Amino acid sequence: MSALLRLIQEIEQFPEEIRTMRVSPQVRPEEIRTELARRYSFDTPVPLDILTEDVICLLREGSVHVTHPRYFGLFNPSVRQASILADALVALYNPQLAAWSHAPAANELEQVTLRRFARALGFDTQTLHTNFTTGGAEANLSAVLAALVSRVPEWSEAGLFGQHRRPAIYLTSETHHSFVKIARMTGLGTDTLREIPTDSRLRMDIDALQSQIEADRASGWTPLLLVGTAGTTSAGIVDPLEQLSEVATAHGLWFHVDAAWGGSAVLSPQLRDIVAGIEQADSITWDAHKWLSVPMGAGMFFCRHPEAVARAFAITTSYMPDAVADDTVDPYATTAQWSRRAIGLKVFMALAELGTGGYAELIEHQAHLGDSLRERLRQLGWNVVNDTKLPVVCFTHPDIRQGRRSTSEILHTISERGRVWISDVVLGNQERVLRACITSFHTNESDLTCLLEEIEYARQQKR
């Protein structure tokens, strides 16, 4: 069989066969390294049909299968076939999106997709900037850079050395840790990050935020950016976005909402109210490769201040093509990337195939399963410890709290058996608990039954 036909066969068969596979692999580092060294010296060529079969086997046997219906881990979903085909087409045509004139179709396909999502967010599509990113970290970086040039206009030229007052960024312990990297990459330093306490529901405490802003102003700091999260990584918590928007407006802060996962709730009539206030943000991060079920990576950045984005990234060179028209945008001059893959085609094709209504159904199905898992855990004597309507469930058991079992022991047993995959997490810098997230649109009640059987089996094992 030719390599191309074998690839097509795998695309068709793998989703149907995945339920018969282990979720987590049984391989040790030395095993896979030895096998790779034996097969691939790179001194002699390997026929493509043999190479394709080898790689398929390696990926099947040596991966945590995040597209498995019983993978209850991080935000890595099952993927739509339309998006797989899109990525194959991107690899085939290899469009270069740095300049609009080099890839008019791909650039406009991305923009029509992004504008549809912007409408769902409540943004005015005629006055915003939006672009695809490699992921949420890049989108968050874009927000910080746009905020800097907006609130500290001299930043672009003078940089750190031209500042007499240090900018401050407000977030919580539950905020995504990409902001730690961003503080380092921008030269702001991690002292810039003001970690605001959370309330009993792990949401940013408004009173503590107000107090910290006032204290910073009195100490010579410049309050710059307020980060609200719509669906925290650990526990699916949504900060009080409407109240945060009011605080940001009152103090002149740039208000950014990191909705990398939870942003998809805006597509669901049942869940949209959970993220009320997101439409007031100056900028938003939203990852399509999380709850919109497309392959990694496909982050999205939305900003209601295109002039700030232009100041942050604008560049002109003699070796890049001239702009075609005033109403076209060259991504290399408006984003952190230069050479850029057609990231958004897989999102366009998935959205076009499903429609926003189809996406709403998938999202609501997973949210319903989250509710079901919470109820079934309680019936078995487990304690659900996070308060969210999004389908991530954090839970513990009296046996864990009283030291008779540990989360690491339970996870080890579950991983050894390979039927499901979950993780653990520390919430609020305090308690370590188990975490299960519904990430696949293929997951059903029978998969929840398997999960419950596995965690009960692991809990009851003797030390």
**Pairing label, strands 383-384, 392-396:** antiparallel
State pLDDT tens for residues 364-374: 999 999 999 99
Q: Which residues of 194-206 are buried (b: 16+ CB within 10 A; e: fewer)?
A: bebebbeebbbbb
- 442 CB neighbour count, 10 Å cutoff: 18
pLDDT of 154 reads: 84
State pLDDT tens for residues 82-132: 999 999 999 999 999 999 899 999 999 999 999 999 999 999 999 999 999
pLDDT of 158 reads: 78
HEC string of 161-186? HHCCCCEEEEECCCCCCHHHHHHHHC
**Pairing label, strands 222-229, 193-195:** unpaired
pLDDT, the chain, mean: 95
Round to whole Å and give the CA distance between 371 and 383: 14
pLDDT of 161 reads: 74
Average pLDDT over residues 318-329: 80
CATH (one of 3.20.20.70, 3.40.50.300, 3.40.640.10, 3.40.50.700) for 87-350: 3.40.640.10
Domain range list for the chain = 3-69, 87-350
Poorest-confidence range of 10-14, 26-30, 240-244? 26-30
pLDDT at 48 over 90: yes
One-letter identity of residue 461 = Q
Question: 222 in helix, strand or coil?
Answer: strand
pLDDT at 164 over 80: no
